[in-house]
Amino acid sequence: MSKQKHISETPATQMLRKQGVAFGEHAYDYVDHGGTGESSRQLGVPEHNVVKTLVMEDEAARPLIVLMHGDCSVSTKNLARQIGCKSVQPCKPEVAQRHSGYMVGGTSPFGTRKRMPVYVEGTVLALDTIYINGGRRGYLVSIAPGVLTDLLDAKAVTCALPD
């Protein structure tokens, strides 16, 4: 594990601190298109416990956040069916950035610019600890998964596809 670098505050860490949430900070060397495989390898944690934050939109272009295991992808068909939409698709990077206020690769579900509905793969909530983006590329925070439902009112869904 690399030496702990001091990370400056992000909107995500500000929100967590303000809400009194205990979290660990984990910096790693960001690699373009490295994804959760790269962060889990560098931090020595299972990729299944690294949760990616995906900004998607429904057929009316209403944004939503999906939290998924790093080693899985989202079945947009299953997700749309469960949340009562006709269709769901990933946002273009610039649209995702506009909704979240974060750069793609550094998107956190905490402290987003726009409040969006949050959906989490149900099995994520069964993990002891999750590693999720802290609001900057190359920076994850470790938290208890219950924080997702407590703080973000995340709704559990079943839409994981193994990668």
Per-residue burial over 130-155, b if 16 or more Cβ lie within 10 Å, else e, is: bbbbbbbbbbbbbbebebbeebbebe
pLDDT beyond 90 at 139: yes
Task: Give Cα separations from 123 to 14, 38, 126 (angstroms).
Answer: 27, 22, 5
pLDDT beyond 70 at 84: yes
Domains and CATH numbers, the chain: 24-162 (3.90.960.10)
pLDDT-based confidence at residue 76 (cuts at 50, 70, 90): very high
First to last CA, the chain: 26
Residue 79, C-beta contacts closer than 8 angstroms, at least 6 positions apart: 56, 66, 88, 119, 157, 159
Average pLDDT (99-122) is 97
Average pLDDT (105-120) is 97
pLDDT beyond 70 at 6: no
Digit-coded pLDDT (tens) for 24-58: 999 999 999 999 999 999 999 999 999 999 999 99
7-16, 40-49, 72-81, 150-159: least confidently modelled range = 7-16
